[in-house]
Amino acid sequence: MARKAVAKAGVAPVAKAVVKRARRPEVRLPPLVPYAGGELEPDGDYDGVDFRELDLAGQDGGGARFLDCALTGCGLDETRLHRARFIDAVLSGIRGVGTDLAEATLRDVEVTDARLGGVQLHGGVLERVLVRGGKIDYLNLRKARLKDVVFEGCVLVEPDFGGARLERVEFRDCVLKGADFNAVTMTDVDLRSAAELGIARGLDRLAGAVISPAQLIDLAPAFAAQIGVRVEAPGEE
C-alpha cells in the first residue's frame, strides 16, 4: 500500500544502494623455472620464475619486475623491493619483518598465509589482489591506491591506511585490530563480513563504506565520542 501511495503521489521509491563487489585476481601461472640462485638484482627482470623456500633477507630487488612468478615459503626480512612490480604472481607462505615494498605495484596477485611484520607498502598500487589467511602486523599502506582488493580470513594488526584511496575493497572473515583510516577516501568498501572490526582512527572517513547493524552497535560509543556526544543512563549525575 505504501508503495502505491508513493507512486500515486508521483514520488519514485528510493532504490537500495548496492555495494560493488571487488574483482578477484585470476592467476594461472605457466610452467615455472626454478630460481637459479644468487641475490636479487635491482631492476631485475624475472619472468616465469619459481622462488621456493629461499632466504632473501636483506637483498635488494628494488625496481625489479616479477611476471608470472611464484614466491613460496621465502624469507623476506629487511628485503628491499621498493618500486618492484608483481604482475600475475602468487606469494604463498612468505615471512619477514621490515620488508620494503614502498611504491610497489601488485596487479593480479594472490598472497596466501603470509606472516609479516612492519611491511612498508606506502604509496603502493594494489589492483585485483587477494590476501587470504596469515597475519600481518603494522602494515603500512599510507597513501596507497587499492582497487579490487580482498582481505579474506587474515589478521591485520594496526594496519595504517592513512591517506589511502580504497575502491571496491572487501574485508571478509578477517580481523582488523586498531585500523587507522585517517584521511582515507572510500568507494564501495565492504566491512560487513569482518570477523572483528577495531578502528583506532578515522571513523569520520567511513563515508563510502558499508557496515553491518551489529558493527554499528559496537562502534556506537566511538561514533558518539567522535561528535562529542555523552552517553549516560537516565538518572546518572
What is the per-residue pLDDT across 138-194, written as a single tens digit (0 to 9) for each?
A: 999 999 999 999 999 999 999 999 999 999 999 999 999 999 999 999 999 999 999
The arithmetic mean of pLDDT across residues 56-79, rounded, is 98
Residue with cell 631485475: 44
42-51, 116-125, 228-237: range with lowest mean pLDDT: 228-237
User: Residue 236: what pLDDT?
Assistant: 60
User: Residue 11: what pLDDT?
Assistant: 46
Q: CA 216 to CA 224: how far, in whole Å? A: 11
User: Residue 81: what pLDDT?
Assistant: 98
Q: CA 121 to CA 101: how far, in whole Å? A: 5
User: Residue 237: what pLDDT?
Assistant: 59
Mean residue pLDDT across the chain: 92
What is each CA distance from 125 to 2, 104, 164, in whole angstroms?
47, 6, 10
Nearest to 170 by CA among 20, 26, 27: 20
Q: CA 18 to CA 213: how far, in whole Å? A: 16
pTM of the entire structure?
0.88
Q: CA 95 to CA 104: how far, in whole Å? A: 18
Nearest to 81 by CA among 67, 108, 101: 101
The arithmetic mean of pLDDT across residues 48-58, rounded, is 97
What single-letter amino acid sits at 19?
V
Give me the phi and psi of 197, to 5 degrees please.
-125, 100
Cα 151 to its chain centre, rounded Å, is: 6
User: Residue 128: what pLDDT?
Assistant: 98
